[in-house]
């Protein structure tokens, strides 16, 4: 296999937390990535299929990602989805980043919960043909089979390994691999909930963004549709 060097890690990062950073670091190490590019989403286009609308403005989410990764040269952030008009389609992001990088397909890093919804994304077949996918376990999931998570309509496009932890695209040779990591049971929604309740989020948020997130006061307001 030719070595893929760059990782792309998309997310709402609302706000960025230790689980995100651990995922990026585990993927960097497991796939020998030169760097992992964090790509904050503007407005998730698949919100009608269950994704959330961001609470914090894009500029703040971006600034927090920059602050959280400032001490790690292997991580960087690309604001391209915030600079584009309209919805943030992953296929456009992968294509833009591929033209800037070398010929190697990037490794798109994604939690298993998000990967399970990929069939509802814009042009999922092209997404899976345009990048490798590192599917990272997320609590409560510790292990699993890609046979269960590959979109039904696209399963035939892939040849599964006997242990069902990796799959190779029959036409493009892009692969999907399961990456089992020690789970960190942390989520942005849990952090937002704790902040609303006035509880501590220390050690759940990266140290560098603890004060900026608290000072913003963003998450102290009730979520839309929630009574104060
Ligand atoms: P929310 O709770 O608001 O839905 P989130 O914590 O899932 O947010 P996102 O920014 O939506 O954070 O996630 C970006 C990516 O990171 C997704 O692929 C998601 O599966 C993955 N991810 C987030 N937290 C973890 C975690 N603790 N372990 C593994 N993967 C994670």
Q: What is the pLDDT of residues 151-200, one digit of tens each?
A: 998 999 999 999 999 999 999 989 999 999 999 999 999 999 999 999 99
CATH number of the domain residue 84 falls in: 3.40.50.620
Whether ligand 1 lies within 6 angstroms of the CB of 52 is answered as yes
71 part of a folded domain: yes
Nearest partner of 147 among 133, 132, 160, 128, judged by Cα: 160
Question: Which residues lie below 8 Å from residue 131, measured CB to CB, with a gap of 6+?
Answer: 8, 94, 98, 105, 106, 107, 108, 174
21 part of a folded domain: yes
pLDDT recorded at residue 38: 98
Determine the Cα–Cα distance for residues 12 and 188; give it in Å rounded to an integer.
9
216 part of a folded domain: no
191 part of a folded domain: no
Question: Which residues lie below 8 Å from residue 43, measured CB to CB, with a gap of 6+?
Answer: 53, 54, 87, 88
Residues of the chain with pLDDT under 70: 1-4, 44-54, 101, 222-228
Summary mean pLDDT of the chain: 90
84 part of a folded domain: yes
Q: How many domains does the chain have?
A: 1
pLDDT recorded at residue 2: 52
pLDDT recorded at residue 47: 47
Q: Which of 23, 30, 58, 75 is the best mutation target for the ligand 1 pocket, counting ligand atoms within 8 Å of the beta carbon and taking the most? A: 23
pLDDT recorded at residue 226: 61
205 part of a folded domain: no
CA of 131 to the centre of ligand 1 (A): 20
Q: Which domain holds residue 111?
A: 6-186
Whether ligand 1 lies within 6 angstroms of the CB of 19 is answered as yes
Whose C-alpha lies nearest to ligand 1, atom 6?
187
Determine the Cα–Cα distance for residues 11 and 21; give it in Å rounded to an integer.
12
174 part of a folded domain: yes
The pTM assigned to this predicted structure is 0.93
Whether ligand 1 lies within 6 angstroms of the CB of 90 is answered as no
Q: Which of 41, 111, 142, 196 is the best mutation target for the ligand 1 pocket, counting ligand atoms within 8 Å of the beta carbon and taking the most? A: 111
> Which stretches of 121-165 are assigned E, i.e. beta strand?
132-136, 158-160
CA of 20 to the centre of ligand 1 (A): 6
Whether ligand 1 lies within 6 angstroms of the CB of 114 is answered as yes
Beta strands 107-111 and 75-77 are unpaired
Identify the residue whose tokens are 């900026």.
Answer: 212
CA of 126 to the centre of ligand 1 (A): 23
Question: Which residues lie below 8 Å from residue 154, measured CB to CB, with a gap of 6+?
Answer: 119, 124, 125, 128
Phi, psi for 167 (deg, rounded to 5): -150, 140
Determine the Cα–Cα distance for residues 172 and 160; give it in Å rounded to an integer.
14
201 part of a folded domain: no
Burial class (CB in 10 A: 0-12, 13-18, 19+), 127: buried
- Strands of 158-160's sheet, edge to edge? 75-77, 35-40, 6-11, 107-111, 132-136, 175-179, 166-169, 158-160
pLDDT recorded at residue 103: 77
CA of 145 to the centre of ligand 1 (A): 19
Phi, psi for 225 (deg, rounded to 5): 85, -5
pLDDT recorded at residue 25: 98
């Amino acid at each position: 296999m030719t070595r893929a060097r760059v990782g792309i890690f998309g997310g709402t990062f609302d706000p960025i937390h230790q689980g995100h950073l651990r995922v990026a670091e585990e993927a960097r190490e497991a796939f020998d990535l030169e760097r992992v590019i964090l790509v904050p989403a503007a407005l998730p286009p698949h919100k009608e299929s269950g994704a959330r609308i961001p609470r914090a403005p894009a500029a703040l989410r971006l600034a927090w990602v920059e602050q959280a990764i400032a001490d790690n040269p292997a991580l960087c952030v690309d604001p391209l989805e915030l600079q584009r008009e309209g919805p943030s389609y992953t296929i456009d992001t992968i294509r833009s980043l591929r033209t800037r990088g070398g010929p190697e397909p990037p490794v798109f890093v994604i939690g298993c919960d998000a990967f399970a919804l990929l069939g509802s994304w814009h042009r999922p077949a092209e997404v899976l043909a345009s990048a490798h996918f590192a599917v990272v376990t997320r609590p409560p999931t510790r292990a699993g089979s890609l046979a269960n998570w590959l979109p039904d309509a696209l399963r035939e496009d892939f040849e599964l390994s006997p242990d069902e932890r990796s799959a190779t695209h029959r036409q493009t040779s892009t692969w999907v691999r399961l990456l089992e990591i020690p789970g960190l049971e942390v989520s942005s929604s849990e952090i937002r909930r704790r902040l609303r309740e006035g509880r501590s989020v220390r050690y759940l948020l990266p140290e560098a963004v603890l004060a900026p997130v608290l000072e913003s006061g963003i998450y102290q307001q009730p979520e839309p549709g929630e009574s104060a």
